[in-house]
Structure formats: structure tokens, C-alpha cells
């Protein structure tokens, strides 16, 4: 069974809920490594959690997740990304499947920019990007309700994460696991 590494930063728990939904979706198709980035991983501005990076070394698929902060991924996620540059120079993560997920306070809160960043990070590493194959506005259960095909974009409605966003996260987790198996 391939390993799906879910690498994410979350303060108030929404991105973490999405991470767990992705894991549920991949259940039975992939082993899961939750790789939560925490503030203590960053020492004097540098991300220093080597064991988290080693989990990704072993993965067949990687999901990058962060809340959208000021129109992009949170600084803590960027610190992790910068610390992956040693792997980049050897293309250590090349050919792994990669996908991304984010959340924000607003429906149009520039989540796309965070997802674009994740896809560029994946491209830098020679990873194979996997978006959503659910056409926005066409799904009977309203998955991908924001019409974001690059990856999972969500936002809180009246302070709550809609069930359709949780279902989209489950679907993306399943899709990443499926692609990792196919990629062998």
C-alpha cells in the first residue's frame, strides 16, 4: 500500500479537519502519515523537523495544506517548503503524486494563490500534480462548490465548514491514493 503524507499547518482547526477528511477518503487504499507543521518546528526562522521531511521521502503521494493567509500559504508552511530545498537539489521527491488544499474566511479570499503556490512547489520537486476532476457547479452533492479544479479550496459559511467541502476533501484524499497506486 502506498503512503499518503498529509503535510499541513493549522491554528484554529479547519485545515486539520480537511486533512483528516482526506485521510478518511484514502482509507484502505493508502497508509497515512499526518505531518502537522507546528510553530516549534521553526527555530530562528528555519524549519527544523527532519523526521517530517523523512516521512515525505517515504511517501508515494503528498498533500500540501495550509490556510490562506494574506493571499498565500501561511509563513509556517513556507518555512517547511524552504527547508525542502536539500531534497529539491537532488530531486528526491520527483515523480511522487502531489495535491493541495486550503481554506479561508472568504469565498473569494485568494485561496487560488495558495493552491498555485503548492502546485509550483510540486513542480520544483518534479512531482506530478493531481487536481480535482469534479466540475464546479455540476456535482449533485455540491462537491467542489467553489469550482476550484487546481485543488481543494474551502471557506467557512456562518462559521462552519460545509459538509460538501468535507466530502470534497474525502474525494481528493481518495484520488491521491488511487493515483499513487497507479503510479506504483
Ligand X SMILES: Cc1cc2nc3c(=O)[nH]c(=O)nc-3n(C[C@H](O)[C@H](O)[C@H](O)COP(=O)(O)O)c2cc1C
> Using CB under 6 A as the criterion, which residues of the chain lie in contact with ligand X when the complex forms?
10-16, 67-71, 103-106, 109-110, 156
* C-beta nearest to ligand X: residue: 109
Nearer to ligand X, 3 or 74 (CB): 74
- Smaller CB separation from ligand X, 110 or 139: 110
Residue among 3 and 35 whose Cβ is closer to ligand X: 35
Q: Is 62 helix (H, G, I), strand (E, B) or coil?
A: strand
Are 57 and 99 in contact, with CB atoms under 8 Å apart?
no
Q: Please report how close the Cβ of residue 47 comes to ligand X at its closest, in angstroms.
A: 18
For residue 57, the minimal CB distance to ligand X (Å) is 25
Could you tell me which residues come within 8 angstroms of residue 62 by beta carbon, excluding any fewer than 6 positions away? Answer: 4, 5, 6, 7, 56, 93, 96, 97, 98, 99, 122, 127
In the bound complex, what is the minimum distance in angstroms from residue 104's beta carbon to ligand X? Answer: 2
Minimal distance, residue 98 CB to ligand X, in Å: 20
For residues 72-99, b (16+ Cβ closer than 10 Å) or e, as one string?
bbbebbbbbbebbeebbeeeebeebbbb
Amino acid at each position: 500500500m502506498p503512503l499518503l503524507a498529509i503535510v499541513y499547518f493549522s491554528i484554529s482547526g479547519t485545515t486539520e479537519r480537511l486533512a483528516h477528511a482526506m485521510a478518511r477518503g484514502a482509507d484502505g487504499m493508502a497508509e497515512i502519515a499526518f505531518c502537522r507543521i507546528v510553530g516549534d518546528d521553526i527555530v530562528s526562522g528555519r524549519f527544523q523537523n527532519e523526521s517530517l521531511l523523512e516521512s515525505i521521502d517515504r511517501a508515494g503521494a503528498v498533500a500540501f495544506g495550509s490556510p490562506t493567509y494574506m493571499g498565500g500559504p501561511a509563513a509556517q508552511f513556507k518555512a517547511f517548503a524552504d527547508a525542502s530545498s536539500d531534497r529539491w537539489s537532488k530531486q528526491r521527491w520527483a515523480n511522487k503524486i502531489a495535491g493541495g488544499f486550503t481554506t479561508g474566511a472568504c469565498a473569494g479570499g485568494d485561496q487560488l494563490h495558495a493552491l498555485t503556490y503548492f502546485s509550483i512547489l510540486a513542480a520544483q520537486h518534479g512531482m506530478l500534480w493531481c487536481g480535482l476532476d469534479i466540475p464546479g457547479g455540476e456535482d449533485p452533492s455540491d462537491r467542489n462548490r467553489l469550482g476550484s479544479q487546481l485543488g481543494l479550496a474551502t471557506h467557512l459559511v456562518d462559521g462552519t465548514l460545509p459538509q460538501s467541502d468535507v466530502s470534497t476533501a474525502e474525494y481528493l484524499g481518495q484520488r491521491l491514493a488511487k493515483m499513487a497506486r497507479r503510479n506504483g
